[in-house]
């Protein structure tokens, strides 16, 4: 579903991505890990047709992100790391605006907006200004909004940033439910390693390069080999710290 091949992106001398290649199969839940500045957001923005790589190619749903960015954007839903709700509009107006920008026909808008509101558990809040919502409610709204045009691939850049544990759990339950019902492919980035435990596969970026990739179990095994002192790591967080050599001894 997603194929990245040798992606390079340089911002005035900073190599944000330095030859990144990977694949995500259809229907997978794929986690992108890595410290601040590792290149996660840059990778996501290239894959959803928002930025051009300097070198390399990528295909999403069989479409080339450089040659056909608009077609790629049509099949992708994106939740950006920075909030992108319109603070001057109500919850309903935000959803309606999105529908119109994505060319959803008028006849279907009502139904889809109602579904999105139900999904985000915000049916009663449709008429409220988004500034009156809590952080968690806003994030849920952003995720539900990204699904309005029924994307085949969903990109979530730190979807649970700044949320309390209960709200984080709710968001993941929400995403799991969504995958079950719609079968979307989900690629997300996170700093909460616990969230990545449930991924089909994860990829660790380090200074714009792929440091490791595989299923959580595979990463733990790989980290286990490196651990001089047994026992091998039991959580992905421990494995991550070993692999990125930031383990505290």
Partner 1 sequence: MAVMPLWEATWAIWQRDVRSYWRRRVRIVAALARALLWLVVLGSGLRPLMAGTGMDYVHYILPGVLALTAAYSSLQAAVATMAERESGFLRVVVSAPVPRMVIVGGRALGGATEATLQGALVLLVAPVLGLRPGRAGVLGALGLLFLTGFALTVLGMVLAASLKRLEDFGVIANFVILPMYFLSGALYPIPPLPVWFKALVALNPLSYAVDALRGVLVGAYHFPLGLSLTVLALVSALMALWAVPLYSRE
Nearest-approach distance from CB 60 to Mg ion, in angstroms: 19
Counting contacts by CB under 5 A, is residue 161 touching Mg ion?
Answer: no
- Show the binding pattern over residues 30-69: x = contacts partner 1 (CB under 8 A), - = does not: ---------------x--x-xxx-----------------
CB count in 10 Å sphere of residue 222: 17
Which residue's CB is nearer to ligand ATP, number 42 or number 94? 42
Nearest-approach distance from CB 81 to ligand ATP, in angstroms: 6
Q: In this chain, which of 8, 21, 61, 81 binds Mg ion, going by CB under 5 A?
A: 81
Is the sign of the CA dihedral 120, 122, 126, 131 positive or negative?
negative
Contacts of 133 by beta carbon, 8 Å cutoff, 6+ apart = 91, 122, 125, 141
Give the span between the Cα atoms of 137 and 60, in whole angstroms. Answer: 29
Q: Is 222 helix (H, G, I), strand (E, B) or coil?
A: helix
Give the span between the Cα atoms of 231 and 238, in whole angstroms. Answer: 11
Q: How many CA atoms does the CB half-sphere of 2 hold within 13 Å?
A: 30
25 bridge partner residues:
none
Counting contacts by CB under 8 A, is residue 108 touching partner 1?
Answer: no
Nearest-approach distance from CB 157 to Mg ion, in angstroms: 6
Q: In this chain, which of 22, 31, 39, 219 binds ligand ATP, going by CB under 6 A?
A: 39
Distances (CA, A) of 66 to 4, 31, 45: 12, 23, 12
Counting contacts by CB under 8 A, is residue 140 touching partner 1?
Answer: no
- Show the binding pattern over residues 67-106: x = contacts ligand ATP (CB under 6 A), - = does not: --------------x-------------------------
Buried-exposed string 65-75: b where 16+ CB fall within 10 A, e elsewhere: beeebebbbbb
Nearest-approach distance from CB 123 to ligand ATP, in angstroms: 32
> Which parts of this chain interact with partner 1 (CB under 8 A)?
45, 48, 50-52, 70-71, 73-74, 76, 78, 80, 82-89, 93, 96-98, 100-103
Residues contributing to the site for ligand ATP (CB under 6 A): 11, 14, 16, 34, 36-42, 81
């Amino acid at each position: 579903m997603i194929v990245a091949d040798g992606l390079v992106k340089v911002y005035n001398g900073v190599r944000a991505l330095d030859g990144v290649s990977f694949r995500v199969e259809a229907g997978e839940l794929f986690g992108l890990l890595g410290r601040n500045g590792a290149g996660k957001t840059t990778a996501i923005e290239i894959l959803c047709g928002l930025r051009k790589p300097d070198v390399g190619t990528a295909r999403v749903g069989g479409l080339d992100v450089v040659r056909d960015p608009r077609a790629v954007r049509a099949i992708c839903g994106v939740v950006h790391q920075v909030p992108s709700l319109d603070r001057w509009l109500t919850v309903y107006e935000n959803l309606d605006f999105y529908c119109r920008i994505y060319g959803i026909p008028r006849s279907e808008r009502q139904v889809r907006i109602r579904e999105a509101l139900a999904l985000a558990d915000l049916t009663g809040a449709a008429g409220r200004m988004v500034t009156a919502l809590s952080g968690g409610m806003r994030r849920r709204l952003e995720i539900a909004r990204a699904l309005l045009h029924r994307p085949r691939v969903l990109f979530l850049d730190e979807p649970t940033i700044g949320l309390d544990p209960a709200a984080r759990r709710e968001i993941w339950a929400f995403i799991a439910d969504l995958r079950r019902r719609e079968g979307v492919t989900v690629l997300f980035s996170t700093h909460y390693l616990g969230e990545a435990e449930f991924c089909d596969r994860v990829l660790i970026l380090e200074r714009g390069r792929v440091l490791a990739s595989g299923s959580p179990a595979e990463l733990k095994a790989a980290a286990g080999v490196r651990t001089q002192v047994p026992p091998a790591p039991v959580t992905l967080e421990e494995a991550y710290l070993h692999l990125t050599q930031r383990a505290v001894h």
